[in-house]
Structure 1
Amino acid sequence: MTQKIKAVSFVPRFFGAFGQFFKYMGSGDYAARCQQANKGELFAFEAEPTVITETVEVIREIEVMAPALDTVNEDGAHQLLLLLQQEARFIDFLQESIDDYADADVGAAARQIHAGCSKVLTQHFTIEVVNSAAENSRIEIPADYDAKQIKLEGRVEGAGPYTGTLIHPGWKVTDTRLPKVTNTESLTILAPAEVEV
């Protein structure tokens, strides 16, 4: 029996498309699966299921806790939002409903926002890959690897070292060049109200 899938409305599709774009660009395996689906091959939930019973022993699961911050630097967060608003009108875009706009109009706006956000990242941050190996290449991970920089997926057995396929190289900030400000109270105003008189 084929499962009926509920259609997704435009707004979730639009923002989901951004995530799918980066996932498609970041994973050769994912891109290959998308191409197969595009050729009309059945998705897993459309195909008749094959029941396979197998006893699997879970050797070890690695779970990294999210970092807990004792303090939050609100000024830095406000400053980044301010820069994104100035260069890409980022807040305007997210705060406005796009339900009534055609896909072509949204796409044109997204292109400008992408250029502005890219400018902010380039000017104020140096971002490098965590692992410089080619995607989909086989790499070896030492037993004492940094779990914050490397995320192991699949079945993890033993204490390492591990050998696996690099799905995504990861990103890390190596330099931050946010402008220095003397009056941090004004940072909460991301964009002043504009009045024509």
Structure 2
Amino acid sequence: MTQNTKTQKITSQEVKPLSFVPRFIGAFGQFFKYMGSGDYAARCQHAGKGDVFAFEAEPTVITETIETIREIEVAAPILDTVNEDGAHQLLQLLQQEARFIDFLQESIDDYADADVGAAARQIHSGCAKVLNQHFTIDVVNSASENSRVEIPAGYDAKQIKLEGRVEGSGPYAGTLIHPGWKVTDTRLPKVTNTENLTILAPAEVEV
């Protein structure tokens, strides 16, 4: 166990405005972080009310106690083969219903926030349609968010990710931050001819 003392002060002049692209990318990350953590959402609400941030307050000396944290790493699955047909089929469906490929392949740097927001609404609707029609999605843990849950020893690390101080081999008790998602049923259309699955959308020519 070690101790680290540090003093940090960030002035308002050092906080530079972000351009549109990093704001757009950051908005997606903040959306999932906001939905996944009640504590983070509460802090965002305080920030929206104009509460003082740490860098706006008078600098203070902070003494931190750093403890050793054991991280559990889950090995990536080893695939003998890759089902390219299924991936191409899903991309085709997303393109047909939500113009998904069109949106990602086009630069949005020159568009206003309102224009991007309107396009995102349509894409969200189309992607949700594909998801609901062809998959059944369920939560990994059915407990309410921010409730206390018990994790048994020998738990499946692919289904449950422990965060914070992890000591010993369990069982563990903690607060459910995000319930997780899993696919319980897949209903992709059966394809007999896979030769054209790499064509996600045909070229359109008006004559």
State the TM-score, normalized to the length of structure 1. Answer: 0.92
Distance 1:64 1:43, change over 3 A: farther
Q: Does 1:108 align with 2:129?
A: no
User: What pairs up with 1:21-100 in 2 under 5 angstroms?
Assistant: 21-44=31-54, 48-54=59-65, 56-58=67-69, 60-100=70-110
Secondary structure of 1:128 counterpart = strand
What's the CA shift for 1:121? 0.3
Distance 1:190 1:49, change over 3 A: farther
CA distance in 1, matches of 2:106, 2:139: 33
Distance 1:49 1:95, change over 3 A: farther
For the aligned residue pairs, the C-alpha RMSD in angstroms reads 1.7
User: What pairs up with 1:176-187 in 2 under 5 angstroms?
Assistant: 176-187=186-197
The amino acid across from 2:10 in the alignment is T
Secondary structure of 1:181 counterpart = coil
Q: Does 1:8 align with 2:21?
A: no
Residues paired across the two proteins, number:
196
What corresponds to 2:172 in structure 1?
162
Secondary structure of 2:178 counterpart = coil
What's the CA shift for 1:154? 0.2
CA distance in 2, matches of 1:68, 1:130: 22
**Which structure features the higher share of strand residues?**
2
Secondary structure of 1:37 counterpart = helix
Segments ≥4 residues shifted beyond 6 Å: none
Deviates more, 1:23-32 or 1:79-88: 23-32
The amino acid across from 1:163 in the alignment is A
